[in-house]
Amino acid sequence: MIHKYWNVRLHSTGQPLIEDTTVEGDATDEIRHTVRKQEEEVETKVNWIWKTLSAFEEKSATCISDMLLHVSNGVYFDGVMAAKKFIVHVDLLFTAADDLDGLLSSNTPKGTLIFSL
């Protein structure tokens, strides 16, 4: 879902999700439990990211709507204040993205791609 709406893909940190301990045949109950637990963890991350990005999108749309509404009503000062609020909102997004980029750069071996946009 995240990729469809936000064009972002989640990748593992380079570690295999499960170790290849199975021999030809059915998986053991322990492996099935491990895989299910990892699937639930990924699903939890996806839901958190989805909710966060959706909340940001909704807040941005509200800021833009308020800004345009004030300007169309001739209340220019309130329109400028709404624009300021939107600029701060977007600035926070880019600051967080820069912080994430710095963390990924410092914790990732050079030449390794963690995620793609």
- What is the structure's pLDDT at 2? 57
- Looking at the structure of the chain, the number of domains it has is 1
Inside any domain, residue 7: no
Domain extent for 102: 31-107
Inside any domain, residue 116: no
Task: With beta carbons less than 8 A apart as the criterion, state whether 67 and 79 touch.
Answer: yes
Query: Strand runs (DSSP E) across the chain, as ranges?
Result: none
Inside any domain, residue 23: no
Q: How far apart are CA 29 and CA 41, in angstroms?
A: 18
Mean pLDDT, contiguous 10-residue spans, the chain (117 residues): 61 54 68 90 88 90 93 93 92 90 81 53
